[in-house]
Amino acid sequence: MEEDIYDILADHYDIMQDDIDPDELALRIKGLIDKYCTTGNEKKSLVDLGCGSGSVTSIMQSRCGFDCIGIDLSPKMLNMAMEKNDKVLWLCQDMTEYELLSPADVFISTTNTMDHLTDRSLFEKILSSFEKYLLPGGVFVFDVGTREYFEEVLGDNVFFEDYDDMTLLWANEYDREEGVSTSELTLFYTEDGENYKRTDGTLYERFYSEDEIREMAEGFGLEFLTGIVSEDGRREFMVLRKN
């Protein structure tokens, strides 16, 4: 049976994210939490939705002083995460249908994870879950791709990435009217260093504007506090708070 493309990509996830400094990202998020979270708890609980291989979650626990939970649907990703930090509670759950024993001070979601929820109702499902699982005064800190990222960086472009044991070809198409980006992936990879296999897959992302997110947030009783565009213009960090 051919291995799923996402399981294969999981083995190379950290290398593919080498343009993102997890320490820098964690410190940026901590700064936003320190500024906007008003739960009053000295040691705050934090839930990372779609934590992937757990790089940021691990740093939030070990260096930033949060009591962390990481949620991801990929067992491979969570195994990698556990190797980084066994003090974090790693849960294999769908981030749109997660369950917790108690509410948390902070929720985060990074590296454009929310963009993969192309169905708006799934985005809203996460926001609605905060009625039960986010403490009053708690915040949701997340990032999404900017219009510039979707239209100019992804656009209708073709990408080529070559790694030690994997080569990725990536043809992208962006529907400006629908705001949906479709990435057709072709992956060549080796497990023994000699013989290569091929697998194909499709990845979807959706552009969410600040106005749309503000509208959704207010519909679930959340206050939109800020939207900060990254230095390269590709990502916007947003903060919502439960009042």
Q: Do 140 and 25 lie in a common domain?
A: yes
pTM of the model: 0.93
Q: Do 185 and 212 lie in a common domain?
A: no
| 190-226 core/surface letters (b: 16 or more CB in 10 A; e: else) | eeeeeeeeebeeeeebbbbebeebbebbeebebebbe
Average pLDDT over residues 228-240: 96
Q: Do 132 and 237 lie in a common domain?
A: yes
Q: Do 164 and 103 lie in a common domain?
A: no
Q: Do 90 and 104 lie in a common domain?
A: yes
pLDDT above 70 for 4: no
pLDDT above 90 for 148: yes
pLDDT above 50 for 190: yes
Q: Do 29 and 113 lie in a common domain?
A: yes
Q: What is the pLDDT of residues 69-97, one digit of tens each?
A: 999 999 999 999 999 999 999 999 999 99
Average pLDDT over residues 33-56: 96
Q: What is the pLDDT of residues 159-180, one digit of tens each?
A: 998 888 889 999 999 999 999 9
Q: Do 163 and 231 lie in a common domain?
A: no
Q: Do 14 and 51 lie in a common domain?
A: yes
Domain containing 139 equals: 5-146+208-242
**Residue 2: predicted pLDDT:** 47
CATH of the domain at 198: 2.20.25.110
Q: Do 81 and 161 lie in a common domain?
A: no
Q: Do 72 and 116 lie in a common domain?
A: yes
Confidence of residue 5 (pLDDT cuts 50, 70, 90): low
Q: Do 12 and 126 lie in a common domain?
A: yes
Q: What is the pLDDT of residues 193-213, one digit of tens each?
A: 788 889 888 999 999 999 999
User: How many structural domains are present in the chain?
Assistant: 2
Average pLDDT over residues 99-126: 97
Q: Do 75 and 176 lie in a common domain?
A: no
CATH of the domain at 216: 3.40.50.150
- Distances in whole angstroms, Cα of residue 172 to Cα of each of 58, 59, 154, 167: 32, 32, 6, 16
